[in-house]
Structure 1
Amino acid sequence: MPRDETAPRPVAPSFPVHRDGEPVPEGLRGAVAALGNFDGIHQGHRALIAAVREMAAALGRPSAVVTFEPHPRAFFSPGTAMFRLTGEAGKLAVLQRLGIDGAFVRRFDARLAGTGASAFVAETLKGELGLSGVVIGHDFHFGRGREGTPAMLEALCAENGLACRIVPAVAAGGGEAPVSSSAIRAALEAGDVGTANHLLGYRWFVEGAVRHGDKRGRTLGFPTANVALDACALAHGIYAVRVRLADGSLRDGVASYGRRPTFDDGAPLLETYLFDFSGDLYGQAIAVELVGFIRGEERFDSAEALVVQMHDDSARARRLLAADRTPSMLG
C-alpha cells in the first residue's frame, strides 16, 4: 500500500507499538516476535504470524512482530522510488486484525544497518526488546551486510537463551513459486488484481486523504474522491473497488488510476466514484481496496464517449463486486 503521510490510519490504543528509545510496554514484555519487513503481509507472512502466535501461546508470552521503518531498501537507495505494498499505518492495522498482540517498530538507520549479526541478537532482540523467542522465514537475513543467515540466527538464539523457529517457504494454492512481495508488485503492475489478492489472502488496499481536483467528474455526472498515491506502480486503468470512509462506513464503487489522457494527461491520481452516495469527502482519510480489473486506461475522442464507457464500467464493477468473495481487511 503506497504511503500517504497526510492520512495515517490510527491503531487502536489496545494495540501496543514500541519504538526506539521508549520503554517496552507491559503488554509486550518477554514477547515472542516474528522478524521482517512485512510489506504487504501476504500469505507467506501469515505463516510467520501463525507460527509466532503458536509459540507465544505455548510459552505463555505475548505475540508480536519486529518490523523496520523506513523500509531498508529506502535507506540504502534513498533516491530510488519504491512501490510499497503496505505503509506503516496500514501494516500495523492489518497485524492487529490478524490477532498479533503488538509490534516493535525499529528505526532503520545507519546505526542499525551497521550492527553486526551477533550484536543484533544479543543487544537488540534480547537486550533492548527483551524478547523470549523469535520466528523468521526461510530466507531472512540480518545484521551488517546481511551477514546473518537463518542458521546463524538459530545458533545465536541458543547462545542467548531465546527460542527460535524457522518457517519454510509458502506457495499459494499449491503452486511451486513461493509467495513474495515482489510477485505481488509484479501482478499489480500488470493490473492482475486477482493474482495479487490471491497471494495476499485479502484485497489489496490503499489509504489517503481526499484532495480537491478539477471537479470535472461532477460535470460528467460522476463526482470522484481523488487520492494521490506515492510511488505507486499500479497499472493505469479502471477497477472495481470497495471504500471505507472516515466514519467507518463501507461503499462500493469504481475507480480510475492514471493520467486522464482524454483531458490533461497529468500526474497519476486515484479517482473513485462511489455508487449511490452524495456528500463532501474533502480532507477525509479513506481506504480503497481493489476488487477487480475492468480495463486499461484509454483516450476517448469526446467527453460524451467517455461518459458512455463510464456507465458500462460502473455496471461491470457492480457485477465484479457482487461476485467477489475475497476477504477484506477494511471490515
Structure 2
Amino acid sequence: MQLYRDLDSLSADFRGGALTIGNFDGVHLGHARIAQLIRQRADEVGGPAVVFTFDPHPVRLLRPELEPPPLTWTRRKVELLGNLGIDAVIAYPTTRDLLNLSPEAFFEQIVVQKMSAKAMVEGPNFNFGKDRAGDTNTLAELCQKHGMQLDILQPFTRPGETEFVSSSRIRKLVAAGDVKLAGEMLTEPYRIRGMVTHGAARGSQLGFPTANLEAVDTLVPAIGVYAGIGYRGEEMFAAAINIGPNPTFGEKARKIEVHMIGFQGSIYGEPLEVSFLNRLRDVISFSDVEALKKQLDIDVQTTIKTFDEYQATRDL
C-alpha cells in the first residue's frame, strides 16, 4: 500500500488501473464493497486499485462551519483501505483551484491525464467539479467518451435494516456513545489517537493507572466508560476507557483516560491509539473512594471479557 500526496510523484505502477474518488471517512462496509469491486476491476484491466481522496475535506474550504468531525486520520484510512486490497491512496491537497475546475476539466486533468484510469467505481450520490455540478450521469458520459468502464454501486444496507450505512450515520452513533453498533458498520472498531500527557496521577493512587489522552484529532465518543483496546506499537492491550469528568473528586473537565490492563512502563509524551468495543456505563459520582475502586474493578473485568470475546472472533 502506498500513500501519495500529489500526482506529480505518482509512480507509473499506480496509473492505468481502476479508480474511485471519495472521502472514505471511517472506511465502513459500504466503502468495503466499493474497494472489493475496484480490486476486481483492477485485476480485469491489469492495473492497480487506487482510491483518490481529498485532504482536507472540501467542506473545510467551502463551508468550514459545516465540516463534520472526521472519523479517521489519513494514515489510518490508508491502513484500512490497504486491508481491503487497495494498492494506493492519493490524499490530494484540496485547493480553491481544484474545487473551481468544471466536472469536465476535473475528469480530463485528474482521471484521464494524471491517472490514465481504465475503470471507475462510485456510489449513487457521487458529485464532482465546481459547485458539485457533475453527477453520475455526467460521469457516465465522460467514461463512455474515453472508453472507461463505470460501475455505480447502490448504498449498502445491512440485513434487516432500511437505513443504509454511511459515515454520517456512524458519526451520530459515535457521538451518542454507541460504539458497538458503529463498529459493526465499520471494517474495524472505531479508533482515536492522541498524545499521552501528565494528569493528576489519581488512577495510579487507586491502583488503576491511566494514560491521559490529549490532542485527539477525530470525533471523540460521548461521555461514558468503555471497553476497548490500547495500541503501543505492535502491542495491544485490553483497555478500560473513561471519557468525561471525575465527579467523585469534584472535577468537571472532560478527560480521556485509558487504563491499559497489564501494561507496565511509562508512555508520557508518546502517541497512543485506542479502539472502542462497547460502552459499559455512564460516568457517575460515587459515595467514597472504596465504592469507586469496587466499580473500577468490575469495569476492568468486563473489559477483559469484552476484549477476549473480540479476539476470539478475530481468530475464527
TM-score, normalising length: structure 2: 0.92
- Asked if the contact 1:254/1:274 (under 8 Å) is kept, the reply is yes
Residue 114 (structure 1) aligns with: 100
**Does the residue aligned with 1:173 lie in a helix, a strand or coil?**
coil
- Asked if the contact 2:179/2:221 (under 8 Å) is kept, the reply is no
- Asked if the contact 2:19/2:121 (under 8 Å) is kept, the reply is yes
Matched residues in 2 for 1:74 and 1:141: separation?
Answer: 17
Alpha-carbon deviation of 1:218? Answer: 1.1
* 1:243 alignment partner AA: G
Residue 75 (structure 1) aligns with: 61
Matched residues in 1 for 2:164 and 2:275: separation?
Answer: 24
Alpha-carbon deviation of 1:178? Answer: 1.0
Alpha-carbon deviation of 1:22? Answer: 2.7
Matched residues in 2 for 1:203 and 1:257: separation?
Answer: 17
- Asked if the contact 1:241/1:289 (under 8 Å) is kept, the reply is yes
**Does the residue aligned with 2:159 lie in a helix, a strand or coil?**
helix
Residue 318 (structure 1) aligns with: 304
Alpha-carbon deviation of 1:55? Answer: 0.4
* 1:35 alignment partner AA: I
Residue 243 (structure 1) aligns with: 230
Residue 234 (structure 1) aligns with: 221
- Asked if the contact 1:66/1:106 (under 8 Å) is kept, the reply is yes
User: Counterparts of 1:215-234 in structure 2 under 5 Å?
Assistant: 215-228=201-214, 229-230=216-217, 232-234=219-221
- Asked if the contact 1:240/1:291 (under 8 Å) is kept, the reply is yes
1:210 to 196, 207, 219: 196
1:285-311 deviation per Cα after TM superposition (whole angstroms, max 9, x unaligned): 222111111001223343333222211
Matched residues in 2 for 1:230 and 1:255: separation?
Answer: 17
Alpha-carbon deviation of 1:82? Answer: 3.1
Residue 31 (structure 2) aligns with: 45
* 1:76 alignment partner AA: L
Alpha-carbon deviation of 1:213? Answer: 1.8
User: Counterparts of 1:118-197 in structure 2 under 5 Å?
Assistant: 118-197=104-183
Greater RCO structure (CA 8 Å; 6+ sep): 1
1:31-51 deviation per Cα after TM superposition (whole angstroms, max 9, x unaligned): 211111000100000010011
Q: Does 1:201 align with 2:226?
A: no
Q: Identify the range of structure 1 (122-131 vs 149-158) with the bigger mean alpha-carbon deviation.
A: 122-131
* Percentage of pairs with the same residue: 30
How big is the alpha-carbon RMSD for the aligned residues of Structure 1 and Structure 2?
1.9
Alpha-carbon deviation of 1:151? Answer: 1.5
TM-score, normalising length: structure 1: 0.88
Unaligned runs of 5+ in 1: 1-14
Residue 105 (structure 1) aligns with: 91
Alpha-carbon deviation of 1:58? Answer: 0.6
Alpha-carbon deviation of 1:251? Answer: 0.9
* 1:235 alignment partner AA: A
Q: Does 1:300 align with 2:300?
A: no
* 2:11 alignment partner AA: P
- Asked if the contact 1:197/1:326 (under 8 Å) is kept, the reply is no
Q: Does 1:273 align with 2:222?
A: no
Matched residues in 2 for 1:103 and 1:233: separation?
Answer: 25
Alpha-carbon deviation of 1:244? Answer: 1.6
1:98-149 deviation per Cα after TM superposition (whole angstroms, max 9, x unaligned): 2211111111221122111111111121112332222111111111111111
1:62-116 deviation per Cα after TM superposition (whole angstroms, max 9, x unaligned): 1110111111222223345632111111101111122211111111221122111
Matched residues in 1 for 2:65 and 2:310: separation?
Answer: 39
Alpha-carbon deviation of 1:282? Answer: 1.6
Matched residues in 1 for 2:166 and 2:295: separation?
Answer: 35
**Does the residue aligned with 1:324 lie in a helix, a strand or coil?**
helix
Unaligned runs of 5+ in 2: none
1:233-288 deviation per Cα after TM superposition (whole angstroms, max 9, x unaligned): 41111111112212x1111121111233333212x332111112211112222221
Matched residues in 1 for 2:136 and 2:59: separation?
Answer: 20
Matched residues in 2 for 1:327 and 1:105: separation?
Answer: 32
Alpha-carbon deviation of 1:53? Answer: 0.4
**Does the residue aligned with 2:168 lie in a helix, a strand or coil?**
helix
* 1:69 alignment partner AA: D
Residue 46 (structure 2) aligns with: 60
